[in-house]
Amino acid sequence: MEVNIWIFILLSLIKVIVVTVLLLMCVAYTVLLERKLVGRIQNRWGPSRVGPFGLLQPLVDGLKLFLKEEIDPEVVYRPLFILAPIISLGCALLSISMIPFGPDITWHGVQLFQISDVNIGLLILLAIGSIGVYGTALSGWSSNNKYSLLGALRASSQVISYELALGLSLVGVVLRSQSFRLRDIVAVQSTHGFLSWNFFGGFQFIAFFIYITAAYAEAGRAPFDLPEAETELVAGYHTEYSSMKFAMFFMAEYAHMITIGCIATLLFFGGWSSPFANWLPPFGGVVLQSLMAIFWFIVKVFFFLFLFVWVRGTLPRLRYDQLMNFGWRFLMPVAILNIVGTSLWLALRAQ
């Protein structure tokens, strides 16, 4: 089918805008979710004054951050000081462009539920993740502040160390689906309901635990939040930031969480496929089915966001040497063993 280039560009633009706005909304409400849940875990209410159940809290928070005075310390290295939060937020938002949210439905030659469908989608996600370090590293360096610099050094060494385990943990998944394309990876997992998910039927649960641990470290979330450990480093790399620039780091962190949730869903929990797909007779038209697919996707991502908050509310922060030991001496060898095991299993099954 011949695709009109202008319609293609227009539809793609609309898609990008819709996804970005939705993602930013999700970021705002993830913050609320986290505050509510952590409140519950610590036996208090969490935000409850603004709107019913505190539902308008994100709007007020955003307004507050916008209206705060922007303080630029005198000794910062300005170009990088401004560039750093832009890199952080840019990378966090960019990775959502590879994520497929629903089944492969095209309209006027444009895929409805994915911004761009690339052969090497998984690799590009890894690449964007590895560029994201510069946001933290440069912010700490350009702040010209001891605590920020220590935070930045911790962040970059932590991310380099855990990136290895993260990349290796994904190899098992790629071996099983024989493709880096995220849609193919989901297609392999949607044949027999939840039994064919990589987590259960693919025997990738070890890989999943490695991935989720390494991803927490990459995002700098508890228990790996050493780069911004309040008790040691004031606020780590973003000590000198205020107002909108701080908000950008903040949004980047939560957008990163959402992306990690999406990737974990796609790679290990069957993406948008329903847990009992083939056992129920198909019902409804195309519209209802794709809505159901998106429903399952959102449920799974929500589960991962919940897990993020739960872990933060439960586990204490690691010490720096513990962090390095855990990453290099435990996660890496286990990830390599998982690759060997998976390839043996696949080779034996293929015979």
Q: Which positions ≥6 away from 110 have C-beta within 8 Å?
A: 3, 7, 8, 11, 12, 15
- In the bound state with other proteins, the residue whose beta carbon lies nearer, of 155 and 309, is 155
Task: Rule CB under 8 A: choose which of 66, 68, 71, 178 binds other proteins.
Answer: 178
Binding mask 63-102 for other proteins (x = CB under 8 A): -----------------x----------------------
How far is CA 35 from each of CA 120, 127, 176, 213, rounded to the nearest angstrom?
36, 31, 38, 22
> Segment contacting other proteins (CB under 8 A): 93-101, 145-153, 223-231, 343-351?
145-153
How far is CA 92 from each of CA 126, 134, 166, 219, rounded to the nearest angstrom?
12, 12, 17, 10
Task: Rule CB under 8 A: choose which of 160, 291, 340, 344 binds other proteins.
Answer: 160
**What is d(CA 143, CA 11) in angstroms, rounded to the nearest whole number?**
41
- In the bound state with other proteins, the residue whose beta carbon lies nearer, of 156 and 169, is 156
**What is d(CA 348, CA 342) in angstroms, rounded to the nearest whole number?**
10
324 contacts other proteins (rule: CB under 8 A): no
The site that binds other proteins (CB under 8 A) totals a number of residues, namely 27
- In the bound state with other proteins, the residue whose beta carbon lies nearer, of 41 and 174, is 174
Helix, strand, coil fractions of the chain, as percent rounded to 5: 70, 0, 30
How far is CA 91 from each of CA 96, 138, 188, 316, rounded to the nearest angstrom?
9, 14, 28, 28
- What part of residues 259-278 is at the interface with other proteins (CB under 8 A)? none
**What is d(CA 165, CA 329) in angstroms, rounded to the nearest whole number?**
10
156 contacts other proteins (rule: CB under 8 A): yes
120 contacts other proteins (rule: CB under 8 A): yes
Nearest distance, CB of residue 127 and other proteins, angstroms: 4
Nearest distance, CB of residue 150 and other proteins, angstroms: 10
Q: Is 73 left (phi over 0), alpha (psi -120 to 50) or beta?
A: beta
335 contacts other proteins (rule: CB under 8 A): no
163 contacts other proteins (rule: CB under 8 A): yes
Task: Supply the DSSP symbol for 52.
Answer: G
* DSSP structure string for 56-102: THHHHHHHHHHHSPP---TTS-HHHHHHHHHHHHHHHHHGGGG---S
- In the bound state with other proteins, the residue whose beta carbon lies nearer, of 32 and 91, is 91
127 contacts other proteins (rule: CB under 8 A): yes
- In the bound state with other proteins, the residue whose beta carbon lies nearer, of 129 and 220, is 129
**What is d(CA 237, CA 183) in angstroms, rounded to the nearest whole number?**
36
Task: Rule CB under 8 A: choose which of 24, 41, 153, 171 binds other proteins.
Answer: 153
> Segment contacting other proteins (CB under 8 A): 42-50, 124-132, 242-250, 330-338?
124-132
Task: Supply the DSSP symbol for 169.
Answer: H
Half-sphere exposure for 324 (CA within 13 Å, toward CB): 6
Nearest distance, CB of residue 137 and other proteins, angstroms: 6
CB-based contact 261:281 (threshold 8 Å): no
CB-CB neighbours of 11 under 10 Å: 18
301 contacts other proteins (rule: CB under 8 A): no
What's phi and psi for 105, nearest 5 deg? Answer: -115, 125
> Segment contacting other proteins (CB under 8 A): 125-133, 254-262, 314-322, 341-349?
125-133
Task: Rule CB under 8 A: choose which of 149, 170, 332, 335 binds other proteins.
Answer: 149
Identity at 260, one-letter amino acid code: I
126 contacts other proteins (rule: CB under 8 A): yes
322 contacts other proteins (rule: CB under 8 A): no
Nearest distance, CB of residue 119 and other proteins, angstroms: 6
Residues that bind other proteins (CB under 8 A): 80, 119-120, 123-124, 126-127, 129-131, 133-134, 137-138, 140-141, 149, 152-153, 156-157, 159-160, 163, 167, 178, 180
